[in-house]
Amino acid sequence: MFIDEWFDKEFYQQLPLGYHAQTNFAFGQFFWTQAYYPHENLELWRPVVDPNEPTKTIASNFRIVPAGKDAFKRTFPLHAPKLETNEEFLVIRAKRRPVLLIQQEAPLIAVDNRGYRGKIQRRRCLVAQIFGLADTKTKSPEFSPTFVDRVRKMEFPQFLFLPQKAGIFEVDSLLRLDELQSVFTPHLEPTQFALGASVTSILVEQWRFLVAGIGPSEYTELRELLLKS
């Protein structure tokens, strides 16, 4: 028995009209957005300042350099594009991919912060990235069947198996709770689907177990049951 077989047709739910409104965004909802690849080798997109530009604060040319001891310790700030001396442009790759909402944007806090630089209200939410387990064009597996079956039995608390379903995923996929990213809320493109109510409850308990070892719970009981089957 696997988790997708356990929940079967209740694994996903189709959302009602109005689902696309940001006020209705909720844990367990699927979106599309641009997601970046965490870089292992830190590279900088360093500005090449025009020697003929007298202020040395405007740059139109850049070059990629490996991060050295002077990283985030630049001599001059830039005015255009804006870059402080303790800031750098990082070289990263990004891809448009499906994500699952973990934490919606926090409500607006009514605080008088006039005269201070800190921005209290940041339009951010937290999402978990979703990766296909097979090539979407050729359908060729990208992970061993043994590993995929172990994920389907809930062996790894950082992963959740997501079965293929028309309108959501072209292939079986993997939700990674160890690949969370902060996203500007308006950059989220909502789909018409979310996890089913029972799967959502399990994922809440799975998240609590992963980050704090909280249990026993419905998650740990189902996990134990599937691992023994």
59 located within any domain: yes
Question: pLDDT digit string (tens) for 135-160?
Answer: 989 999 999 999 999 999 999 999 99
Looking at per-residue pLDDT, the higher value among 108 and 160 belongs to 160
List the CATH number of the domain containing 23: 2.30.30.110
115 located within any domain: no
Q: 82 and 60 in one domain?
A: yes
Q: 23 and 127 in one domain?
A: yes
Q: 200 and 100 in one domain?
A: yes
Q: 159 and 62 in one domain?
A: no
Q: 171 and 151 in one domain?
A: yes
211 located within any domain: yes
- HEC profile of the chain: CCHHHHHHHHCEEECCCCCCCHHHCCCCEEEEEEEECCCCCCEEEEEEECCCCCCCCEEEEEEEEECCCCCCCCCCCECECCECCCCCCECCCEEEEEEEEEECCCCCCCCCCCCCCCCCCCCEEEEEEEEECECCCCCCECCCHHHHHHHHCCCCCCEEEECCECCCECCCEEEEEEEEEEEEHHHCEEEEEEECHHHHHHHHHHHHHHHHCCCCCHHHHHHHHHHHC
What pTM did the predictor assign?
A: 0.89
Q: Which of 69-73, 120-124, 168-172, 209-213 has the lowest mean pLDDT?
A: 120-124
- 49 pLDDT more than 80: no
Q: What is the number of domains present in the chain? A: 2
**Residue 214 confidence (pLDDT):** 95
Q: 204 and 141 in one domain?
A: yes
Q: 202 and 139 in one domain?
A: yes
210 located within any domain: yes
114 located within any domain: no
Question: For residue 150, what are the domain limits?
Answer: 3-35+96-107+121-228
**Residue 222 confidence (pLDDT):** 98
Q: 133 and 23 in one domain?
A: yes
Q: 76 and 185 in one domain?
A: no
Q: 208 and 102 in one domain?
A: yes
195 located within any domain: yes
113 located within any domain: no
